[in-house]
Amino acid sequence: MKTRIRYHRKLRHWTQANLARQVGTTAATVSRLETADMNVSMDWLEKFADVFGVPVAALLDETRAATTVPCVGFIDGTGTLSADDNDDREDVTLETMARNPVALRIRETFGTYQAGDIVIADRISADDLPRALGRDCLVGIKGSASGFGRFVSSGHGTYLLIPPEPGTDARHLPLPEWVAPVVMLIRHL
């Protein structure tokens, strides 16, 4: 069965050796799994899905056709189109890259976000908080108002939520019920 393991590896700019270390195998095995030279079991798919932080279905080749846009090359700062390196020039797949996606609409421009942006975040449990530290997140607090901003640890089991707008006061938070780190920004031009 053909999979999208290579696509997800290249998306993260990882080598086969980097991915192999994270999955607990060899680069040769990763290569065989990427090229369908080896049967891909559900166990393998689950290991790769965990490392990539995507649902298993995102690794199956059938999901690709409806959401793929051909990539014609790369643009540098001078505006020059370079289409000479076909190995790195994979098609662009429009997907959320989240196991439990939630979306936010930006109402007004603040920080790096512009009015009209759509932010896709991956809602994770409080048990998985280290994945969210230092990232822009939507944070859910039981019995309190949720918020959005840079999620950081303030030590001793408490957290800070630093709003994206400079000069705005950080919020001290108890242990959140859930956190959703931003994984994708959609900006219509």
Q: What is the pLDDT of residues 9-65, one digit of tens each?
A: 887 888 999 999 999 999 999 988 888 766 788 888 889 989 988 888 888 765 444
Angle at 69 between CA 67 and CA 70, to 5 degrees: 145
From CA 176, how far away is CA 173, in angstroms rounded?
A: 7
From CA 3, how far away is CA 154, in angstroms rounded?
A: 41
Give the predicted TM-score (pTM) of the model.
Answer: 0.58
Residue 123 predicted with pLDDT over 50: yes
* Complete domains list, the chain, with CATH: 5-93 (1.10.260.40), 101-186 (2.10.109.10)
